[in-house]
Amino acid sequence: MKKLINDVENVVREQLEGMALAHPELKVNYDPYFVVRADAPVEGKVALVSGGGSGHEPMHGGFVGMGMLDGACPGEVFTSPTPDQMYECAKAVDSGAGVLFLVKNYTGDVLNFETAAELAYAEGIKVQSILIDDDAAVKDSLYTAGRRGVGTTVIVEKIVGAAAEAGYDLDQCADLARKVNMYGRSIGIALTSCIVPAAGKPTFDLGDGEFEFGIGIHGEPGRKRLPMTSVDEITAMMATAVLDDEAYSRTVREWDNEEGSWVEKELTDEPFKSGDSVIAFVNSMGGTPVSELYAVYRKLAAECEARGVTIARNLIGPYITSLEMQGCSLTLVKTDDEILKFWDAAVNTPGLRWGV
Amino acid sequence: MITKDQIVRWLEKTAAVLQENKSYLTDLDSAIGDADHGTNMDRGFRKVMEKLPTVSDKDIGNILKTVGMTLISSVGGASGPLYGTFFMRSGMAMASKEELSDEDLFKLLQAGVEGVLQRGRPNLEDKTMYDAWAPTLEAMQNALTAGMGTVELMETAVAACEQGMKNTIPLQARKGRASYLGERSIGHQDPGATSSYLMLNALLETVKE
Ligand SMILES: Nc1ncnc2c1ncn2[C@@H]1O[C@H](COP(=O)(O)OP(=O)(O)OP(=O)(O)O)[C@@H](O)[C@H]1O
Ligand SMILES: [Mg+2]
């Protein structure tokens, strides 16, 4: 293993210390770990909190700032953070307008955030929790833990962050987050594995001549392993997996502030169709250069056009990574006027910045 | 009868046994998960060992709740909130008790398993720790009705738990990270069921002393 680290034990802490030095507009708390806007709580504004294992930078800490997240809770590399982090972070950012948890659908993240929501509620904080589950590589929700939360997370954080800034209340923010998640689908591929520092060896083995189709952001197995081929062929497969994906149904749990309990909701994502307008997000898993992402985008644009789908906006670069993994993911999110307005709104974070 | 000292010793034994089996559990998790279950559990119970001296003069309910809170805030992953809730609930069920009857011991575990059920919503044969706990509770219930003594009761419980753990091998995972493997999860023993077995076996060893 060759990595720019000191002691494996201190990887997350030292990286947070560096982040704190580089970004005085953020405040880093070390016991327990969380990152918040230095100006939090923002008077009258709903606060957005997300979190997850480290190793996906800039997500989530790099998305803390005006127009996006109020707080982020980093876990150890690829391990979900714990409820005390989320709860303390929620307390630090709550202005009284409530806190929205944006939770990627991994059992660890879900169970820890659910525990935190109960703790925050018991403390008198209004909370809501929305699940991001957009990974089209996972077909069914009945026999698995359901679709994993991947690229759409970045889009949800940006759009709902802008809405909160514009004065949406907690329920409106939750509704918008749910909608954007249901409008979004992703698929990822890996050309190489990655090495979790504490493990010291590659998460999985992938031969020189093959790639994994449908990989998750922690190296979770995809749909299949295939012989390596051209960017056009790989992109066409990815575009098909997303654009031609059928309706997807699952049951999610959301928090009911009135009852103080969880309620189950049955949600169905409708497939894309001709005439749709989308945000197209081509993401590097960390090791793939931006230049190759443009080659992916070139083919993706053609695939969208062939299906009568218009790309209204795009985002291209490393935003939700898997350490040094070579590979990319593709996310399409259907848009409407509300979504586009908040996508275009100003954002000022270490990882995403425009309009300021 | 189980004394408070025995409960404390059970927790100490659990910490020791999880440390001994850290790589074993992690190896099981690397086959069908993300290779962190042993590390997660060991980290959690090391923290429990740090906390234990500060509460060992409190009642059993309090001790167990402290274990739960400690696990919740130090383990992470899926098993953190699951085992954390387990001990929180068992602590609530044993509130203000200084010693336990055999019936209490059953209720302690039953309340813990209720907590796991509420948190993770596992079904039988989803290939999770619940597959080790469900037969354990059933066997204990029967053993209590049959009027067995503490050691015999726990021996019966551990035997059922071990069988439940082994029965996870041919199952296809439907919950947690392992579910993404689909059929590839078949043929491997579930790490969470294994740590549950180790924990229960530590309790048997304690009551046998
Ligand atoms: N929904 C569930 N209900 C009950 N037990 C579960 C559930 N999901 C997973 N488990 C148990 O948790 C064990 C895995 O725990 P572990 O600490 O490795 O968490 P993890 O899934 O790897 O989380 P993370 O990926 O966030 O690290 C499994 O072996 C299984 O017994
Ligand atoms: Mg694991």
ipTM, two decimals: 0.91
Q: Band of the pLDDT at B107, cuts 50, 70, 90?
A: very high
Examine the residue annotation and report whether A218 is marked as an active-site residue of this protein: yes
A60 is catalytic: no
pLDDT over 90 (residue B30): no
- Interval B168-180: pLDDT, tens: 999 999 999 999 9
CA of B166 to the centre of ligand 1 (A): 17
Confidence band, pLDDT 50/70/90 cuts, at residue A236? very high
Question: Is A32 within 8 Å of B73 when comparing Cβ atoms?
Answer: yes
Instruction: Write down the catalytic residue from A23, A45, A185, A218.
Output: A218
Q: What pLDDT score does A84 carry? A: 95
Distances (CA, A) of B20 to A69, A178, B27, B42: 41, 44, 13, 9
Which band of pLDDT confidence, cut at 50, 70 and 90, is reported for residue A135? very high
Ligand 1 pocket, Cβ-based, cut-off 6 angstroms: A 79-80, 106-108; B 29, 33-34, 36-37, 40, 77-79, 82, 116, 120, 122, 128-130, 175-177, 190-193
Residue with tokens 């209004």: A126
List, as ranges, residues with CB under 5 A of the ion ligand 2.
B 29, 33-34, 36-37
Task: Kindly indicate the confidence band of residue A217, based on its pLDDT and cuts at 50, 70 and 90.
Answer: very high
Q: Residue B190 has which token pair?
A: 């579930």
CB contact under 8 A, B175 and A220: no
Find, in chain A, the residue whose alpha carbon is nearest to that of B31: A204
pLDDT tens digit string along A44-84? 999 999 999 999 999 999 999 999 999 999 999 998 999 99
CB atoms B119 and A218 under 8 Å: no
Contact B87, B62 (CB under 8 A): no
Nearest of A298, A340, A33 to residue A158 by alpha carbon: A340
The first and second tokens of residue B173, run together, are 């995972």
Please check the confidence at residue A223 and state whether its pLDDT lies above 90: no
- Judge if pTM exceeds 0.80: yes
Report CA(A278)–ligand 1 centroid distance (Å): 35
Q: Give yes or no for a contact between A72 and A28, defined as CB atoms under 8 angstroms apart.
A: no
Please report residues of A whose CB lies closer than 8 A to that of B77.
79-80, 108
Q: Under an 8 A CB cutoff, do A111 and B82 touch?
A: yes
